[in-house]
Amino acid sequence: MSMNLDAVGQTWESGEHAWTSKDAILYALGVGAGAQDPLAELAFTTENSHGVAQQVLPTFAVMLGGGGGGPKLGDFDFAQILHAEQTIRLAGPLPVDGRVRSRARVAGIYDKGSGALAVMESTIVDADTGAPVVEVSTGIFVRGEGGFGGERGESAPWERPDRPADHVVVYPTRTDQALLYRLSGDRNPLHSDPWLAARAGFERPILHGLCTYGFTGRALLHTLCGSDPAAFGGMSARFAAPVVPGQELAVHIWDDGRFVTKVGDTVVLDRGVFTGVSR
């Protein structure tokens, strides 16, 4: 088994993606909106509440990539793949319904010793006008595929502040959270199939990293943006540890935009950076 290093630099049109008001609501429910108080986030969980215009959670952007294409990244066991990092950079608030097309490229495949990190970047635009919608960067870690002598890749400087967070937002997750979240399109059986989870070394199916990412994005939206998606420019984070559905997430946020998400004392999202919109 090995990584396909020839894939680096290749680009492709990864197709169109359309969504509706219902899709945006289902995603919001999948990342916990309204779970603690059904009346608190009606703008994201309903389309017909009196005096409340529907809006879309900014992290819904991770669902807007095309349906496939691109080079094969290598010959490896699917169970050895873990989501490693995620970045979104929004051009503005996402519409309640829309249609986009995307162009993707393999930005790099890096040798991390114990595994390989493959980074894909996508530029997503409105299918009709070509106007920018969002730029997305996704890193996946393939366990056991490092040691091929490649570059390690550079990391942006990041230090956790040496003081307590300015805000801590605590969200419980449901024991069936992964089953709900997967309805938005991420059907990876690692998050639902006990057999595959066991092959990957987990006692039970784990929560999607992007679900934890969505919970965290909600905390950033409500804490740093006054719940206004127009003030949300982007966010990036690394996935540091798995979350089991039913665990409680605590999002530690500093006013300069840095954040981490924890389960107990364990950091599950690390090196977080939120970017607001200048006005």
pLDDT at residue 278, as a whole number: 65
Q: Which residues are the active-site residues?
A: 186, 191
Which residues, other chains included, contact 99 with Cβ-Cβ below 8 Å and sequence gap of 6+? 16, 17, 18, 19, 126, 127, 128
What residues form DSSP beta bridges with 36?
Answer: none
Which residues, other chains included, contact 38 with Cβ-Cβ below 8 Å and sequence gap of 6+? 45
| DSSP 8-state code for residue 255 | T
**CATH homologous superfamily for 2-147+158-276?**
Hotdog Thioesterase (3.10.129.10)
pLDDT at residue 117, as a whole number: 93
- pLDDT tens, N- to C-terminus, the chain (279 residues): 588 899 999 999 988 999 999 999 999 999 999 999 999 999 999 999 999 999 999 999 999 986 667 888 888 877 788 889 999 999 999 999 999 999 999 999 999 988 899 999 999 999 999 999 999 999 999 988 888 888 888 778 899 999 999 999 999 999 999 999 999 998 989 899 999 899 888 999 999 999 999 999 999 999 999 999 999 999 999 999 999 999 999 999 999 999 999 999 999 999 999 999 865
Distance CA(60)–CA(43), nearest Å, equals 14
